[in-house]
Structure 1
Amino acid sequence: LFFELFKALNPKINIVDVRPLTMSLRMLKEEWEIENIKVAGEIAVKGIKKALDVIKEGKSELEVVGEITGELMRNGSEHPQVYVSATPRIHAEPFRDVYIEKEKFVSVVIGADYNNYYANITRSFFLGKPEGRVKDAIEAMDAAYEIAMKETEIGVKFRVVEAKIEGVYKDLNLLDYYIAGYTHGVGLLIEEDPITTIVVAQRSMEPEKGMVLAFVHSPLMLPEGVVKKEDTVIIGDEKINVTEIDTPWIL
């Protein structure tokens, strides 16, 4: 509304969208930016460690978010973004009346910042004994993660890697739960260009030295909950995973 009003009041002004320019500049990080992201990654890992301590049957999403957010802030994250989902229903904010249940996934998404630069990490945990499609989904996500880590290279189009990941889900009959777009950029925002989930054209882009990418971003959306494993990786002559941590799938 205000934008349209501004245009109406200023008909002689030429308005230009500078987002493509700013995003193209932000996609390739300088060394000092990368150093901030590395510290943010260390903080994010501490948040996941806290999640492992506090996730219990009967706790609400809001309780878990509160514990993790406090841990991140105590370690220097000024504007942490934490999303906990104990239900397959998509929602951005934690609910005080949605509780962690047995035989369900709980997914923890963390964006920790340091000097305004973010690192992302996501882990999903299953409370119980995985069987059937739950077991298949865990196997598939592990395989997708390994493909992303191995195959995401300078000069290799994102869509080439995406096709291999899609093949894993197809082989395990999980395409009904699959969302295309396995990676996105990370920096001053927890999600920025290239965003292969929602900007289809960017799936034809190639990683470049200096990019910072999060993968595997797209979850499997099962009735039992969200299945996702995501880390933040610096692209260079060698890839550096700044949120590397071994975590169990089953709690």
Structure 2
Amino acid sequence: MLKENQALLVTKRENKLYFSNFTGSGGALLITLKSRYIIIEGKYENQAQEQCKEFSIITLKEKSFLQCLREIAEREKIEELLFEEDDVVYSFYKKLKKLPFKLLESNKLIEDKRVIKNLNEIDKIKNSCKIAEKAIEISLKKFKVGMTEIELANEIELKSKQLGAEKIDFLIVVSGERGALPHGRPTDKKIKYGELLTIDFGCIYKGYHSDITRTYAVGEVSLKLKEIYNVVKEAQELGLSLVKAGANTKMIDNEVRMYIKKFGYENYFVHGLGHGLGLEGHENPILNQREINILKSEMVLTIEPGIYIPGVGGVRIEDTVVVKEYDCEILTTISKEFEEIGIC
């Protein structure tokens, strides 16, 4: 990954966690072929000692961060410094340019490494998914027609934290015509009988994200809405069946899109089929019509087709899966059968 005279400066929070287990918001890592450093302020020293067993800890006291960086570079004979171009702000970049080494963009070197998950990472994602699912299931047992989207969202968030989530990543609760908003946020709109209700939820457990979407019927809904639901469900199952090592992400997206087109809804599937998941809620690989990625075993990603019709409503169904050699392991297990809720 690195040459003899190179060092990698890691400033992005998720990448610091990936390499060092450090959960603090401050500090930076400096990694060479032979050495690993974490440079932090004094308030993080005890935390770094506890979490970063394989790193030399440099605490900023009389010297600035740049002074410490210069001293390490001189001692390690560093000539080139790789930095995270998507994370470093321009003002800090100008300061780095004054130091006596060549600056190189890391070109998502760490993100590319993070794409393949190890067993420990997959276990954390599984647990995150279990928390998200359980929070939805328990909250729906308390659901009553007339609750607002915000009230239901608050129930789900509270329950997820009680179940062990560090925090929520995002929470979409939309009903009725608002279901046509793929990224709609919960409002004080009351959830009514005869509508569809979509819940898209992701929480964080030990730094790792989950992502699941289910759509429910609030009582009896129209035949049109039932049709939309069935098309999305079948399209999602098709997408899942195509996930395996060696598969082309653009082709998977296209197959699902063509299936939806057979029913005349192609103009209402307005986003990509899925995305990677891990220390961030959206990572590589991306499944859409613009990018081509080849799936590899132990990648974690989502499959989430949807149909969104303005003035009518929408349906999205999403699972988080682990890519395997010949198929995929589905981590989100709530039933996807058409279900009516809120019936007394």
TM-score, normalization by structure 1: 0.86
Distance in 2, Cα, partners of 1:69 & 1:56: 17
SS in 1 for 2:280: coil
Task: Rate the CA distance shift 1:140–1:51 in 2: closer, same or farther, 3 A.
Answer: farther
Code of the residue aligned with 1:94 in structure 2: it is: P
Distance in 2, Cα, partners of 1:63 & 1:3: 38
Which ranges of structure 1 fall in alignment gaps of 5 or more residues?
A: none
Task: Rate the CA distance shift 1:19–1:132 in 2: closer, same or farther, 3 A.
Answer: farther
- Higher relative contact order, structure no. (Cα contacts within 8 Å, ≥ 6 residues apart): 1
Partner of 1:234: 322
Q: Which has the larger radius of gyration?
A: 2
Partner of 1:94: 186
Does structure 2 retain, via aligned residues, the 8 Å contact 1:85–1:226?
A: no
Identity rate of aligned residues, in percent? 24
Distance in 2, Cα, partners of 1:155 & 1:111: 27
Correspondences of 1:32-111 after superposition (within 5 Å): 32-81=120-169, 82-86=171-175, 87=178, 88-89=180-181, 91=183, 93-95=185-187, 97-111=188-202
Partner of 1:127: 218
SS in 1 for 2:167: coil
- Give the superposition deviation at 1:155: 1.1
Distance in 2, Cα, partners of 1:12 & 1:133: 64
TM-score, normalization by structure 2: 0.65
Q: Quote the RMSD (CA, aligned, Å).
A: 2.4
Partner of 2:303: 215
Task: Rate the CA distance shift 1:160–1:233 in 2: closer, same or farther, 3 A.
Answer: same
Partner of 2:240: 149
Greater strand share, structure number: 2
Distance in 2, Cα, partners of 1:10 & 1:138: 53
Deviation by residue 1:95-139 (Cα, 9 ceiling, x = unmatched): 2x2221233221111112221111211101122434343222111
Code of the residue aligned with 1:233 in structure 2: it is: V
Distance in 2, Cα, partners of 1:211 & 1:157: 13
Does structure 2 retain, via aligned residues, the 8 Å contact 1:185–1:213?
A: yes
Distance in 2, Cα, partners of 1:92 & 1:3: 30
Distance in 1, Cα, partners of 2:113 & 2:205: 20
Partner of 1:244: 333
Task: Rate the CA distance shift 1:249–1:200 in 2: closer, same or farther, 3 A.
Answer: farther
Does structure 1 retain, via aligned residues, the 8 Å contact 2:172–2:200?
A: yes
SS in 2 for 1:200: coil
SS in 1 for 2:111: helix
Code of the residue aligned with 1:245 in structure 2: it is: I
Partner of 2:286: 195
Which ranges of structure 2 fall in alignment gaps of 5 or more residues?
A: 1-87
Code of the residue aligned with 1:250 in structure 2: it is: E
Distance in 2, Cα, partners of 1:108 & 1:19: 35
The equivalent position to 2:313 in structure 1, one of 211, 217, 225, is 225
The equivalent position to 2:116 in structure 1, one of 7, 28, 32, is 28
Code of the residue aligned with 1:170 in structure 2: it is: K
Distance in 2, Cα, partners of 1:146 & 1:158: 15
